[in-house]
């Protein structure tokens, strides 16, 4: 299960990961470390990178400089305490929001796919949950689109376990109408 930020077989518990930047010349540079399963991300119009930390119960923000450096790290939204434990049951039982894919709307709110909670959350800076939609299945990615930017599309499937998803085809794309269009 190492792909979830911890390794059940070794009993090592949770581990952090890093974000890396790839420059046009192919140079790879660590941009930020100590992230708890960095996942979906967006860049705001004013140059802020927001990164979902799926196993961190939070979204983290960085100012993005002209050369691609990430500075001024801060918690953008916090849903609960950092997770701890060495087993899947210990870890997943502590997740309040497993922020996976995300997209930004015109008011600067973040639509977050909650991979464990099976819901789409509209989150404002600071962590206020302004709206919640439940597609009736696990939800892993989302994007605003459509002719007026007010259709929230989401990728859904019964669970996120690779072994069961490889042999099954229950995943689908669903759509919801929302009040605030894409940013």
Domain that holds residue 166: 2-177
d(CA 54, CA 4) in angstroms, rounded, equals 9
d(CA 121, CA 67) in angstroms, rounded, equals 32
Q: What's the gap between Cα 120 and its chain centre?
A: 11
* Calculated CA dihedral for residues 169, 170, 171, 172, nearest 10 degrees: 110
d(CA 139, CA 147) in angstroms, rounded, equals 23
Helix/strand/coil for 105:
strand
| In a domain? residue 182 | no
CATH number for the domain including 122? 2.120.10.30
In DSSP terms, 121 is beta-bridged to: 112, 132
d(CA 137, CA 88) in angstroms, rounded, equals 20
Per residue in 147-170, pLDDT tens? 999 999 999 987 666 666 566 677
The answer to which of 44-48, 86-90, 146-150, 177-181 has the lowest mean pLDDT is: 86-90
| In a domain? residue 6 | yes
Residue 105: predicted pLDDT: 98
Strand order in the sheet with 119-123: 99-104, 110-114, 119-123, 129-133
The structural domain count of the chain equals 1
What mean pLDDT comes out for the span 168-177? 85
| In a domain? residue 36 | yes
Per residue in 88-134, pLDDT tens? 777 778 889 999 999 999 999 999 999 989 999 999 999 999 999 99
Q: How confident is the model at residue 3 (pLDDT cuts 50, 70, 90)?
A: very low
Take residue 149 and report the two structure tokens written for it: 């930017």
| In a domain? residue 183 | no
Alpha helices in 77-122 (DSSP H): 88-92
| In a domain? residue 79 | yes
Take residue 97 and report the two structure tokens written for it: 């929001």
CB count, 10 Å around CB of 62?
Answer: 22
pTM score, two decimals? 0.88
Residue 90: predicted pLDDT: 78
Take residue 25 and report the two structure tokens written for it: 């010349």
Which residue in the block uniquely carries the two structure tokens 């069961």?
A: 164
pLDDT of 4 above 60: no
């Amino acid at each position: 299960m190492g792909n979830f930020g911890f390794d059940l077989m070794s009993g090592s518990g949770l581990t952090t990961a890093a974000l890396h930047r790839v420059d046009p010349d192919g140079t790879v540079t660590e941009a930020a470390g100590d992230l708890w399963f960095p996942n979906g991300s967006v860049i705001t119009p004013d140059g802020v990178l927001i990164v979902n930390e799926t196993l961190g119960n939070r979204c983290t923000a960085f100012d993005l400089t002209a050369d691609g450096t990430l500075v001024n790290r801060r918690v953008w939204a916090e849903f609960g305490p950092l997770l701890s434990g060495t087993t899947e049951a210990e870890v997943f039982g502590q997740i309040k929001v497993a922020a996976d894919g995300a997209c930004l709307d015109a008011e600067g709110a973040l639509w977050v796919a909650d991979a464990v909670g099976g819901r789409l959350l509209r989150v404002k800076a600071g962590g206020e949950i302004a709206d919640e939609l439940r597609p009736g299945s696990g939800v892993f990615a989302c994007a605003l689109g459509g002719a007026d930017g007010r259709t929230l599309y989401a990728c859904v499937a019964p669970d996120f376990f690779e072994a069961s998803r490889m042999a099954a085809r229950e995943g689908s794309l669903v759509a919801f109408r929302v009040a605030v269009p894409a940013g």
